Structure 1
Amino acid sequence: MARPGPLSDVRLKDYREPVIEFSCRRCGRHGTIERKLLVKAFGAGVSFAGLRRRMAMGCERMQTPEGDKCGAHFPCLGT
C-alpha cells in the first residue's frame, strides 16, 4: 500500500524534469536516474510513493514493527 501523503498524489507524469534525485536520510544512499528510464520501466502513471518503495527495496527499515522508518525521499520534490 502506498504511504499516505504528498508522494501518493504526485505521479511521474506530473514531474517533467529530465533527472530525478533519490536520497536516504538514514543510510546515506544517494543517486539520480533519468526520468525517461523510469517511465519506460514503470509507466508514467506510477506514483512517487510507489517509486520510493521500489528504489528503497531491500531496506530493512522499510517494514519494521513500528512502521516505515526508512529515510528514502526525493530531494527534487522537496520531500
Structure 2
Amino acid sequence: MSNTHDRVASLARRFLDPVREPNFDASFSESAISSMDAMAFAKAVGSEFNCEIPADDFANFNCLRDLVGYLDANAS
C-alpha cells in the first residue's frame, strides 16, 4: 500500500464512512455519499495533498483508486 493510499483511506474514514474500511474499488455513485460530504472530502484531499483538484477532474473519478492514481501521477 502506498503512502497516498493510506492518507486517502484516513480521509475517507473521516469524511465518508467512519464505520467501514474504505473500498477503493467501489464506485462513488453506489456509495450514497451526500454532495456535502463529497465536497468536504474533496476539500480535505486538497488540503492534505497541498493541491487543488479541479471539480471536473474530481467528478470523473469513479472510485477512490482513481483518486489515488491521480494524486500519485500529479505529485510534485
**TM-score range, shorter-chain basis?**
0.3 to 0.5
Q: Which has the higher helix share?
A: 2
Q: How high is the TM-score relative to the length of structure 2?
A: 0.36
